[in-house]
Amino acid sequence: MQLYNKLSAKERAELIDKAGKYRLTLSFYQYAHIQSPKQLRDELFVVWNGLDVLGRIYIAHEGINAQLSLPAERFEAFKTHLDAIDFLNGIRLNIAVEQDNKSFLKLKVKVREKIVADGLNDDTFDVTDKGVHLNAKDFNTYIEDENTVLVDMRNHYESEIGHFKNAITPDVDTFRDSLDIIEENLKAHKEDKNLVMYCTGGIRCEKASAYFKHKGFKNVFQLEGGIIEYTRQIKEADLENKFLGQNFVFDQRRSERISDDVIANCHQCGTAFDVHTNCANEACHLLFIQCESCKARMENCCSEACMEINRLPYEEQKALRKGKGNSNKIFKKGRSTHLRQKL
């Protein structure tokens, strides 16, 4: 019985091209009490591998967080399988705004301590006492109210390329970092303001809304389904789009365009641009914004040092990397002394 991915990204990409089938990219999450995450993990892998599902799925005692793609023709079979699982029956599936057959190239189902790394001790507050969910129409109304404070619960590299008008966008590297900053900055308005939050698909706001209610905020709201579901609803109901720019996503696409506004800049020359890339030097792989002109000039690298390394034969590059672990410091998101426009 196959319980792990056995194909490389390159091999999978070739199979996708050969199949010639349209794939759907989607995501979902659910907080629930899962007694045996490992058992559920193995069961899901067997079924989803058979349905040609690819993606990144985290399972913990507290629930599941899934971002994936699958052949469109197998969507109903996939949905039927989810509905057969008690805590996933009728789950809302966030269909991606922009589709790409190669948004995911491997199936990774992992057991984690938490489905989102929030650094919180869940035993200290009631995680089920969540904020009020707002649909797109009500969200638009609330954020125009002078008594509302709108907060982006995502990290700096996400909000940099797109966010809602007038939103507070904390300059943080992690979700956990934002919680204390928001509480401190808004502590004077715990009772007299509406705290309205949003994120990519809603999962971060589920936990954050309960946390802020525990911290004494009286009027806590969250955008149901996040930016992805908001975009679907405004198109379906012909509502005003109050989101500017692109929505950062955690797959090969990196972003979905929500509006034509370009609110970010190339990290190397400062020209208006909002597309992320990874440094071509595998020992760096820094995620940053690089315009087409700089990409050509810098050979898709973040610095001249990386460009020189990337020009070396592959075996020499490999030898230079030998014995050096790829820590979180290597895989920084848009923060480096090499980048003039983003430090």
Q: Report yes or no on 254 lying in a domain.
A: no
Among 7-16, 200-209, 255-264, 333-342, where is mean pLDDT lowest?
Answer: 333-342
Buried/exposed code over 174-208 (b: 16+ C-beta within 10 A; e: otherwise): ebeebbeebeeebeeebeebbbbbbbbbbbbbbbb
Q: Report yes or no on 244 lying in a domain.
A: no
Beta-bridged to residue 70, according to DSSP, are 24
Q: Report yes or no on 129 lying in a domain.
A: yes
Q: Is 279 a catalytic residue?
A: no
The span from the CA of 21 to the CA of 252, in Å, is 18
Six-digit token pair at 64? 């599941």
| Co-location of 130 and 226 in the same domain | yes
Q: Report yes or no on 191 lying in a domain.
A: yes
CB 212 within 8 A of CB 126: no
Q: How many residues does the chain have?
A: 343
**CATH code (residue 199):** 3.40.250.10
| Co-location of 103 and 140 in the same domain | no
Task: Quote the DSSP letter at residue 326.
Answer: -
Q: What backbone torsions phi and psi does residue 17 show, to the nearest 5 degrees?
A: -60, -45
Total tally of structural domains belonging to the chain:
3
Range of the domain at 228: 122-232
| Co-location of 85 and 131 in the same domain | no
| Co-location of 69 and 155 in the same domain | no
Q: Report yes or no on 2 lying in a domain.
A: no
| Co-location of 316 and 271 in the same domain | yes
Last residue of a domain, one of 57, 86, 111: 111
Among 114-118, 216-220, 257-261, where is mean pLDDT lowest?
Answer: 114-118
Mean pLDDT of 46-68: 96
Q: What backbone torsions phi and psi does residue 208 show, to the nearest 5 degrees?
A: -65, -40
CB 62 within 8 A of CB 44: no
The span from the CA of 67 to the CA of 236, in Å, is 23
Buried/exposed code over 141-157 (b: 16+ C-beta within 10 A; e: otherwise): ebbeeeebbbbbbbbbb
Mean pLDDT of 68-77: 97
pLDDT digit string, tens, across residues 112-124: 999 988 888 888 8
Whole-number average pLDDT of the chain: 92
Could you say which of 199, 279, 284, 294 is catalytic? 199
Task: Decide if pLDDT at 338 tops 80.
Answer: no
Q: Report yes or no on 62 lying in a domain.
A: yes
Six-digit token pair at 133? 């969910």
Biggest CA-to-CA distance, the chain: 62
| Co-location of 172 and 219 in the same domain | yes
pLDDT over 70, % of the chain: 96
Last residue of a domain, one of 212, 232, 252: 232
Whose CA is closest to 48, among 86, 12, 75?
Answer: 75
Whose CA is closest to 48, among 19, 80, 16?
Answer: 80
- Rounded to two decimals, what is the model's pTM? 0.87
| Co-location of 218 and 313 in the same domain | no
Task: Decide if pLDDT at 91 tops 90.
Answer: yes
> With bands split at pLDDT 50, 70 and 90, how would you rate the model's confidence at 339?
confident
pLDDT digit string, tens, across residues 160-195: 999 999 999 999 988 989 999 999 999 999 999 999
| Co-location of 209 and 297 in the same domain | no
